């Protein structure tokens, strides 16, 4: 599959950054000592839900030509530019997750437009936070997320906020944390988000990352819905504790802008998830 424009753009920016550093050294400018170790918030504008997956996990089998069973949806960030959400709705999308924040300083510049316009188009939508466990505490990032797009209300159209926790886009796969420390970070985020909003966040991840970086803990399966990323003809083995997925990100391109998702249930169940009802 050809590389998507957003990935090509990210690659070009990386090359430009390296070239700039080399050029600075050549003409005698001082390059900071920490430049050799990527800043944990080096390029939040290039990070989105699943942006690290293709580079770390081989596609297995054949990506389905048609979406798996379930309600069709999507996830987006500013990479998709201006989105006509009425068109997306008319193409069959029922729900969307939209990037809101990363770390404690970055807010996606298209979040407000996407979040508002998806609502008025009639989609059930939620916000997601791209985790940066090396840059600040889980609680601090949950606070920032809740205050900058991750809030929740029982209005039939607002999904619980999502914690997007995946491969480190700037360095060590697990952000330099041990499995125990990663579990503590995730717990801190989830508990704080729950305290701020009254909802348990959805967790987006891959089975490989979860196993590698958390020790395949099952600690969150009873409260936090699972959004699993796997670009394949089957969803595969799920992380420990989850007997089923709530959302499957099954392809990184397709009918809708951004990534292609399905919700594992009926429209009534989607509304129940949004409103936190049985």
Known catalytic residues are: 75, 164, 166
| Tokens 């050799």 -> residue | 36
**Dihedrals phi, psi of 96, to nearest 5 degrees:** -155, 145
Q: Kindly give the pairing relationship between strand 259-263 and strand 71-76.
A: antiparallel
CB 161 within 8 A of CB 195: no
DSSP string, 6-59: HHHHHHHHHHHHHHHHHHHHHTTPPPPGGGGS--TTS-GGG--TTTTHHHHS--
Angle at 265 between CA 259 and CA 266, to 5 degrees: 110
In the structure encoding, which two tokens stand for residue 238, read together? 């799920």
Cβ neighbours for 153, distance < 8 A, ≥ 6 positions apart = none
Question: What's the full length of the chain, in residues?
Answer: 278
Alpha carbon distance 199, 86 (integer Å): 28
In the structure encoding, which two tokens stand for residue 12, read together? 């070009």
């Amino acid at each position: 599959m050809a590389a998507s424009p957003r990935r090509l753009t990210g690659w070009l920016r990386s090359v430009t950054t390296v070239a700039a550093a080399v050029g600075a050294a050549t003409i005698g400018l001082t390059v900071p000592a920490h430049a050799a170790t990527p800043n944990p918030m080096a390029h939040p504008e290039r990070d989105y839900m699943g942006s690290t997956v293709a580079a770390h996990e081989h596609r297995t089998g054949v990506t389905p030509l048609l979406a798996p069973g379930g309600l069709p949806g999507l996830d987006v960030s500013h990479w998709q530019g201006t989105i006509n959400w009425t068109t997306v709705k008319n193409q069959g999308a029922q729900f969307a997750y939209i990037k809101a924040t990363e770390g404690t300083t970055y807010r996606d510049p298209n979040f407000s437009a996407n979040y508002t316009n998806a609502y008025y188009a009639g989609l059930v939508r939620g916000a997601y936070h791209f985790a940066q466990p090396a840059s600040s505490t889980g609680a601090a990032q949950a606070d920032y997320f809740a205050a900058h797009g991750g809030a929740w209300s029982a209005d039939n159209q607002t999904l619980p906020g999502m914690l997007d926790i995946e491969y480190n886009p700037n360095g060590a796969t697990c952000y330099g944390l041990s499995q125990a420390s990663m579990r503590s970070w995730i717990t801190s985020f989830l508990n704080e988000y729950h305290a701020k909003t009254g909802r348990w966040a959805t967790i987006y991840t891959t089975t490989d990352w979860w196993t590698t970086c958390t020790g395949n803990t099952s600690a969150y399966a009873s409260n936090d819905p699972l959004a699993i990323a796997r670009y394949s003809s089957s969803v595969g083995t799920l992380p420990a504790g989850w007997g089923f997925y709530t959302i499957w990100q099954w392809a990184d391109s397709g009918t809708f802008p951004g990534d292609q998702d399905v919700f594992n249930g009926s429209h009534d169940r989607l509304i129940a998830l949004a409103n936190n009802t049985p």
